[in-house]
Amino acid sequence: MGAGNLMSVSLEKPANALVRLHMAVEQATHQHTSAYTLPINDGVFIICPSTFEIQTVVQSIMIDLAAIFISTPDPQNKFLLRGAIAYGPVYRGDAIAAGLSPAKRVKHQQTLSRVAFGPAIIQAFRSESNAPPYGIAIHESARAFAPPNSSPFLMSHWLWWIAHADLKQPSGAPPLSVLKDVLCSDILSHFKWLRSTLIMHGITNEKVSQWEQMVQQYFRYWPSNS
C-alpha cells in the first residue's frame, strides 16, 4: 500500500516495508505447500485452493505485521498496508506450457513457474483500494462463490482478528481482540503524526482523514453474532 509513493520520497522506507511484508508472507505460507505467491512491485498475491487456507495465511500475516507496526517506536519507520480477497480461477504457467514444443517447455520451465493469471488476480488488485489500513476488503466474487465445502465471505470486509473456531491462533500471539484494539489506537495516533508532517510524505490531509474514518469504522465494528 503506497509503495509507489514511498519510492518517490526515498528508497529506504519502501525497502523496509516491502522486506517486512515479504518475510511475513514467507513465514505464513511456509507450512502451506499449496499456497502460491506472486510478488509484485508493491506487494504480493497469495493464491490458495481453499477459503480456510487463505484465511489462515492472511490472518497470520496480519498478526505479524500488526505486531511490527505496534512495536516500531519511530513513526517514520512505521508503514501502512492493506489487502483484498477475490475468488475465481487462477492459471499457472503450466497451462501455457501445454501449447509449447517440448524443447521450449524445458527451456522456459523456470520462467513459466513464476507466471499466474486469472480474473481473481485483477479483482483482488482493484478491491485493495476499498480496504482501510491494516484491513482486508472482500471482492463480490468471494462473497457470492466459494470452493467446495466452504462458505462465501459474508461482508465486504473480513474482520481478520475475530477468532473463528477452525482458525487456530498462532502460539505466542496476544488475544486478537486486544491486538486489534491496540493496533487501531496506534494507527490513529500515527495519523496525527502524518498530519503534523504532511509536507514530508506527499499525501494530502483529505487522504489521511479518509483513512482515519475507514479505520474507525473497520476496527470498531463488531457484529452481534460474533
> What pLDDT, in 10s, does the model give residues 50-70?
999 999 999 999 999 999 999
Taking the chain, what is the end-to-end CA distance rounded to the nearest angstrom? 29
Tell me, what CATH number does 145's domain have?
3.30.70
The answer to whether residue 14 scores a pLDDT higher than 90 is no
Residue 224 forms part of a structural domain: no
Domain hosting residue 140, numbered range: 3-219
pLDDT confidence of 163, banded at 50, 70, 90? low
Q: For residue 16, is it within any domain?
A: yes
Calculate the average pLDDT of the chain. Answer: 88
39 part of a folded domain: yes
Residue 164 vs residue 84, higher pLDDT: 84
Q: Quick check: 37 pLDDT over 90? A: yes
Residue 102 lies in a domain: yes
Q: Tell me: pLDDT of 4 over 90.
A: no
User: Which CA distances in Å does 11 have to 6, 14, 17, 28, 97?
Assistant: 7, 6, 10, 26, 37
Q: Residue holding cell 482486508?
A: 136
Residue 147 placed within a domain: yes
Say if 225 falls within a structural domain.
no
Share of the chain above pLDDT 90, in %: 62
pLDDT value at 226 more than 50: no
13 in any annotated domain: yes
Instruction: Flag whether 42 is in a domain.
Output: yes
Q: What is the full DSSP assignment across the chain?
A: --HHHHHHH-SHHHHHHHHHHHHHHHHHHTT-TT-EEEEETTEEEEE-SSHHHHHHHHHHHHHHHHHHHHH--SGGG-----EEE--S--EETHHHHTTS-HHHHHHTHHHHTT-EE-HHHHHHHHHGGGSPTT-EEE-HHHHH---TT----SSSEE-TTS--TTSPPPTTPPPHHHHHHHHHHHHHHHHHHHHHTGGGTT--HHHHHHHHHHHHHHHT---TT-
Cell of 186: 496506534
Is residue 151 within 8 A of residue 145, CB to CB? The reply is no
Predicted confidence (pLDDT) per residue in 107-125, tens digit: 888 888 888 899 999 999 9
The radius of gyration of the chain's CA atoms, rounded to the nearest angstrom, is: 19
On whether the CB atoms of residues 107 and 130 are closer than 8 A, the answer is no
Number of structural domains in the chain: 1
pLDDT at 165: 61
